[in-house]
């Protein structure tokens, strides 16, 4: 039969339903007006084609489900990769002050007219009241929903930006502010729907007006009670948006050392950064960014808060910003030492901190600089008895360090030359690591 040949040519085994259909058509007793053989074959073919169409649809649906599943996986992977890049803070929405949100919502809601064509005064008034309450609720709640959708989830951020949030606002405070904003949004929706429904059920014009005024008052009170959450979110947005953007793909030099050792002064002579320079500890209370242009290449220089000699758990959030930069960004390190005793941190304490950081981040490209060398005596005649590492450090500084004085410009040219060499080496390292990642990705995909 042609249907059987069709199945054979398409290499699709006939289903049980198709086989039963063929037998039923073949063995049935046809009354008078019996069909011709050609008509019987047409019926057989129609049955088989319907069965083939059903099988094809099932296969298509299965392929669609499988394709959709693959698209979801791809989207999640793409989103995951997107979240791992920095720069999320610069994409934050502009948060309106709470008082502006309220005044704008009141103005827009009062201008909402009733539905046209309602002749009955009472019905028209309750329709107007319900629509205005619904509009007021939406004008208050929709901006809050926008903020909830556009402020990033902290767990999807780059580790560096995640650390900045935790260290700037404290553990859990960022999520708490967003939670308060969302709770206010839900409360506004609940109150708005309740009073809009009551207004729509009014039996007279006077009752509709009273319920409209009551609903307005209740919505405004609800918003005013929770408006501090919106203003707190505004502060969070301003703070995060003002933070410097650090590109992990650009070679970065991170200046590290005790407070007031001269890091900010070195940043000023090395880059375009203009940090504050004062003679007291913790002048730098955040990560400051400058840039160096060398042979048409752009490099980053970060000035970080000073580190004091103390246990890791005892460090404040300002100090932990420095460790966050070193931990989560591919930086080269310029460690600044002040052996003059002018910075407020003794050379002994600086040595302990230096050894700790060097041991922890020793895999980074490294350059040691002794600042304020114009205040130091001639160390070439110093004599050290025995193998006293601290005494040697206090006299000469770390092995291979260079001496610099910003005031007298002593050693500045050598510093710039060494920094340029360090950044070029850092660029080569970043490109090498990027090439290895791409190779690993090609291998895993194949």
Residue 59 included in any domain = no
Can you give the CATH number for the domain in which 130 is found? 1.20.120.1190
Give the Cα separation of 270 and 254 in Å (integer): 12
3 state DSSP class of 290: strand
Give the Cα separation of 304 and 320 in Å (integer): 10
Residue 66 included in any domain = no
Give the per-residue pLDDT at 134: 97
For the chain, the first-to-last Cα distance in angstroms comes to 46
53 vs 39, 49, 59, CA distance in Å?
21, 6, 10
Provide the token pair at 223: 């918003």
One pLDDT digit (tens) per residue for the chain, 446 residues = 444 444 344 444 444 544 454 454 445 444 444 444 444 444 444 444 444 344 444 444 444 444 444 443 333 333 444 445 678 888 899 999 999 999 999 999 999 999 999 999 999 999 999 999 999 999 999 999 999 999 999 989 989 899 989 988 988 999 999 999 999 999 999 999 999 999 999 999 999 999 999 999 999 999 999 999 999 999 999 999 988 878 878 888 999 999 999 998 898 888 876 554 444 444 456 778 788 887 778 888 888 889 999 988 888 888 888 999 899 888 999 999 999 988 999 999 999 999 999 999 989 999 999 999 888 876 555 556 556 889 999 988 999 999 999 888 899 999 999 999 999 999 888 888 877 766 666 666 65
Domain's final residue, options 222, 242, 262: 242
* CA neighbor of 379 nearest in space, from 416, 409, 347, 406: 347
For residues 298 and 440, state if they share a domain.
Answer: yes
Give the per-residue pLDDT at 273: 61
Residue pointed to by tokens 């904003």:
181
Residue 8 included in any domain = no
* CA neighbor of 358 nearest in space, from 333, 322, 341, 338: 333
Give the per-residue pLDDT at 256: 95
Give the Cα separation of 103 and 107 in Å (integer): 6
Residue 47 included in any domain = no
* Interacting residues of 65 by C-beta distance below 8 A, sequence separation 6+: none
Domain's final residue, options 209, 242, 275: 242
What is the b/e burial string over 354-379, where b = at least 16 CB atoms within 10 angstroms of the residue's CB?
A: beebbeebeebbbbbbbbbbeebeee
For residues 167 and 282, state if they share a domain.
Answer: no
For residues 168 and 286, state if they share a domain.
Answer: no
* CA neighbor of 376 nearest in space, from 407, 415, 335: 407
For residues 318 and 356, state if they share a domain.
Answer: yes
Residue pointed to by tokens 């981040």:
361
Give kind and range of the element (H or E) at residue 335.
Answer: strand 331-337
Give the Cα separation of 428 and 332 in Å (integer): 12
Q: What is the layout of strands, in order, in the sheet containing 331-337?
A: 288-294, 297-303, 252-257, 331-337, 366-370, 402-403
**Contact assessment for residue 321 and residue 304, using Cβ atoms and an 8 Å cutoff:** yes
How many other CB atoms sit within 10 Å of the CB of residue 170? 11
User: For 10-52, what is the HEC assignment?
Assistant: HCCCCCHHHHHHHHHHHHCCCCCCCCCHHHHHHHHHHHHHHHH
For residues 292 and 398, state if they share a domain.
Answer: yes
For residues 258 and 236, state if they share a domain.
Answer: no
Got the DSSP string for 162-200?
HHHHHHHH-TTHHHHHHHHHHHHHHHHHHHHHHHHHHHH
For residues 345 and 400, state if they share a domain.
Answer: yes
For residues 196 and 269, state if they share a domain.
Answer: no
Give the per-residue pLDDT at 227: 96
Quote the domain boundaries for residue 145: 88-242
Residue 3 included in any domain = no
207 vs 116, 120, 193, 212, CA distance in Å?
21, 14, 17, 9
Give the per-residue pLDDT at 30: 45
Can you give the CATH number for the domain in which 398 is found? 3.40.50.300
For residues 349 and 306, state if they share a domain.
Answer: yes
For residues 191 and 277, state if they share a domain.
Answer: no
Residue 223 included in any domain = yes
Give the per-residue pLDDT at 385: 57
Domain's final residue, options 196, 217, 242: 242
For residues 335 and 353, state if they share a domain.
Answer: yes
Number of domains within the chain: 2
* CA neighbor of 393 nearest in space, from 350, 357, 361, 333: 350
For residues 236 and 263, state if they share a domain.
Answer: no
- The model's pTM is 0.70
Residue 34's Cβ-count burial label (10 Å; 0-12, 13-18, 19+) is exposed
- Dihedral sign (CA 375, 376, 378, 380): negative
* CA neighbor of 223 nearest in space, from 153, 152, 142, 130: 142
Residue 83 included in any domain = no
* Interacting residues of 122 by C-beta distance below 8 A, sequence separation 6+: 202, 203, 204, 205, 208
Residue 277 included in any domain = yes
288 vs 75, 186, 276, 427, CA distance in Å?
35, 39, 10, 21
Based on its alpha-carbon atoms, the radius of gyration of the chain, rounded to whole angstroms, reads 37
């Amino acid at each position: 039969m042609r249907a059987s040949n069709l199945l054979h040519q398409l290499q699709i085994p006939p289903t049980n339903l198709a086989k039963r259909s063929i037998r039923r058509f073949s063995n049935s007793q046809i009354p008078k007006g019996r069909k011709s053989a050609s008509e019987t074959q047409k019926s057989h073919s129609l049955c088989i084609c319907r069965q083939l169409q059903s099988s094809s649809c099932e296969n298509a649906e299965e392929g669609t489900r499988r394709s959709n599943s693959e698209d979801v996986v791809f989207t999640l992977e793409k989103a995951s990769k997107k979240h791992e890049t920095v720069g999320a803070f610069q994409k934050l929405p502009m948060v309106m002050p709470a008082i502006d949100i309220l005044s704008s919502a009141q103005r827009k809601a009062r201008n909402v007219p009733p539905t046209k064509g309602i002749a009955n005064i009472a019905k028209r008034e309750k329709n107007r009241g319900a629509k205005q309450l619904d509009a007021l609720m939406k004008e208050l709640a929709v901006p809050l929903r926008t903020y909830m959708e556009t402020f990033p989830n902290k767990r999807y951020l780059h580790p560096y930006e995640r650390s900045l949030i935790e260290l700037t606002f404290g553990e859990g405070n960022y999520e708490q502010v967003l939670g308060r904003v969302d709770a206010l949004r839900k409360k506004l929706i609940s109150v708005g729907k309740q009073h809009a429904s009551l207004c729509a059920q009014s039996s007279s014009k006077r009752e509709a007006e009273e319920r409209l005024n009551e609903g307005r008052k209740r919505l405004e009170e609800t918003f005013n009670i929770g408006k501090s959450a919106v203003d707190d979110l505004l502060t969070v947005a301003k703070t995060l948006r003002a933070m410097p953007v650090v590109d992990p793909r650009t070679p970065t030099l991170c200046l590290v050392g005790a407070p007031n050792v001269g890091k900010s002064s070195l940043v000023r002579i090395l880059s375009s950064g203009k940090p504050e320079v004062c003679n007291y500890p913790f002048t730098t209370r955040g990560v400051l960014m400058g840039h160096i242009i060398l042979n048409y290449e752009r490099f980053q220089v970060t000035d970080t808060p000073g580190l004091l000699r103390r246990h890791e758990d005892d460090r404040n959030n300002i100090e932990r910003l420095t460790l966050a930069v070193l931990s989560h960004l591919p930086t080269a390190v310029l460690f600044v030492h002040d052996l003059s005793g002018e910075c407020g941190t003794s050379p002994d304490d600086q040595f302990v901190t230096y050894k700790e950081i060097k041991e922890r981040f020793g895999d980074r490209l490294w350059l040691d600089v002794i600042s304020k060398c114009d205040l130091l005596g001639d160390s070439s005649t110093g004599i050290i008895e025995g193998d006293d590492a601290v005494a040697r450090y206090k006299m000469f500084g770390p092995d291979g360090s260079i001496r610099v004085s910003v005031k007298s410009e002593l050693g500045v040219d050598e510093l710039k030359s060494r920094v340029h060499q360090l950044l070029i080496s850092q660029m080569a390292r970043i490109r090498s690591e990027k090439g290895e990642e791409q190779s690993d990705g090609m291998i895993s995909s194949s």
